[in-house]
C-alpha cells in the first residue's frame, strides 16, 4: 500500500490534528511483533509529524529538556495511522498500538503485521539511504549519478523499487513512472540514454507530485490520518489495467512478473 505519496498524505493529514498534543500513554497490543520503550514516550510533547522516506516520523520532546526523540512508523503493506477523537480504538480490528493523547488517540492498525515502530534518538538515524525524489536535491544529474552506480544490468522497474537509490517508490508508481516516461519493462538502467534519463526524471517528479495532490492511491487499505481515501487510482494508466487499452496509444496493456512482483506496461508506447 503506502508509497511516498500515501505516507506524505498520512503525515500531512495528521499534523494539524496531533501536533502540540501530549502523549499521555503508549499501549502496545502486539508485543510479539512490536517493541518500544513505552514509558520513555509517556508525557512527551508531540512537536511535529512529517514524512521521511516511507516512514511517518513523530518528533517527541520532553517538557523538562529540549532533547527530542523521533518515533518512526513504517506502514509497510497494510498499516494505517489514524487519529480518532474518541477513546474507542480497542474495538477496531487489527489495532497494534495506541498512543493516548490529551485529545483523542493515535491508532496504529496493521492487518498483516509487517509494519514497524522504531525509536530514533537522532534524526540522522532515521535518514534513509536513497535520494528523496520530492526534494531539490533530486536533479537530473543526481538521478544519472544514482543510475550509474552498480553494473547497469538491473531492469528499470526493480531499480525504481530500490530504497537505497531513490526512496518512496513502490510497486504501483514503479509501473506508472516508466509508462509516463515511455520506457519499457525490459530496459536495463545501463541502457538509458541521456534524453531518456531526462524523461525518467520528469516522470518521477510528475507522477509523485500528482499522486500527492490526489492524496495518494486507495485500493482497499490505504486511508489518510483522518480515514479519508486517496483518489490517484483514477489517474493510474497501467497499474491494475491488464487487458485495457492504453490511454496514450490504445494498445492493450499487459502484465508480467519481475522479481515476483507484478509489472503492468503498455507494449505499444513503452520502449
Partner DNA sequence: CTCGGAGCCTGTCTGC
Partner DNA sequence: TGCAGACAGGCTCCGA
Task: Show which residues are catalytic.
Answer: 2-3, 54, 261
Torsion of CA 15, 86, 42, 10, to 10 degrees: -30
Q: Establish if 218 lies at the interface with DNA (CB under 7 A).
A: yes
Report the C-alpha gap between 87 and 165 in whole angstroms. Answer: 41
Among 205, 49, 81, smallest CA distance to 197 is for 205
Among 76, 186, 235, 248, binds DNA (CB under 7 A): 76
Nearer to DNA, 104 or 170 (CB): 170
Identity of the residue, 73 or 101, whose beta carbon is nearer to DNA in the bound complex: 73
Per-residue contact string for residues 154-193; x = within reach of DNA by CB under 7 A: x---x--x-x------xxx---------------------
Nearer Cβ to DNA (6/100)? 6
**Cell 491508532, located at residue:** 107
How far apart are CB 123 and DNA at their closest, in Å? 17
- Measured between alpha carbons, how far is 83 from 88 in angstroms, rounded to an integer? 11
DSSP helix/strand/coil, 14: helix
Residues 6+ apart with CB under 8 A from 143: 131, 166, 197, 200, 201, 204
State whether the Cα torsion 131-169-116-71 is positive or negative: positive
Q: Select the span of 15-23, 137-145, 152-160, 201-209 touching DNA (CB under 7 A).
A: 152-160
Q: Which residues bind DNA (CB under 7 A)?
A: 1-3, 6, 32-33, 53-54, 74, 76-77, 93-94, 111-114, 149-151, 153-154, 158, 161, 163, 170-172, 217-222, 259-262
Amino acid at each position: 500500500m503506502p508509497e511516498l505519496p500515501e505516507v506524505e498524505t498520512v503525515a500531512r493529514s495528521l499534523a494539524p490534528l496531533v501536533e502540540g498534543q501530549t502523549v499521555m500513554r503508549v499501549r502496545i497490543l502486539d508485543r510479539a511483533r512490536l517493541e518500544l520503550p513505552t514509558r520513555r514516550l509517556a508525557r512527551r510533547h508531540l512537536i511535529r509529524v512529517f514524512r521521511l522516506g516511507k516512514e511517518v516520523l513523530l518528533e517527541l520532546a520532553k517538557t523538562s529538556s529540549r532533547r527530542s526523540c523521533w518515533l518512526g512508523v513504517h506502514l509497510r503493506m497494510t498499516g494505517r495511522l489514524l487519529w480518532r477523537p474518541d477513546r474507542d480504538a480497542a474495538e477496531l480490528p487489527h489495532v497494534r498500538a495506541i498512543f493516548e493523547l490529551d485529545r483523542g488517540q493515535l491508532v496504529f492498525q496493521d492487518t498483516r503485521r509487517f509494519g514497524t515502530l522504531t525509536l530514533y534518538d537522532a534524526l540522522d538515524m532515521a535518514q534513509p539511504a536513497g535520494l528523496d525524489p520530492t526534494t531539490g536535491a533530486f536533479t537530473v544529474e543526481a538521478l544519472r549519478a544514482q543510475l550509474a552506480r552498480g553494473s547497469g544490468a538491473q531492469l528499470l522497474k526493480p531499480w525504481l523499487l530500490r530504497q537505497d537509490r531513490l526512496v518512496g517508490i513502490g510497486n504501483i508508481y514503479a509501473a506508472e513512472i516508466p509508462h509516463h516516461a515511455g520506457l519499457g519493462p525490459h530496459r536495463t538502467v545501463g541502457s538509458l540514454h541521456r534524453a531518456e534519463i531526462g524523461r525518467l526524471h520528469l516522470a518521477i517528479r510528475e507522477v509523485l507530485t500528482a499522486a500527492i495532490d490526489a492524496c495518494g492511491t486507495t485500493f482497499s487499505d490505504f486511508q489518510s490520518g483522518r480515514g479519508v481515501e486517496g483518489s490517484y487510482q483514477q489517474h493510474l494508466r497501467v497499474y491494475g489495467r491488464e487487458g485495457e487499452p492504453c490511454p496514450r496509444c490504445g494498445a492493450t496493456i499487459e502484465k508480467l512478473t519481475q522479481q515476483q512482483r507484478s509489472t503492468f506496461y503498455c507494449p505499444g508506447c513503452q520502449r
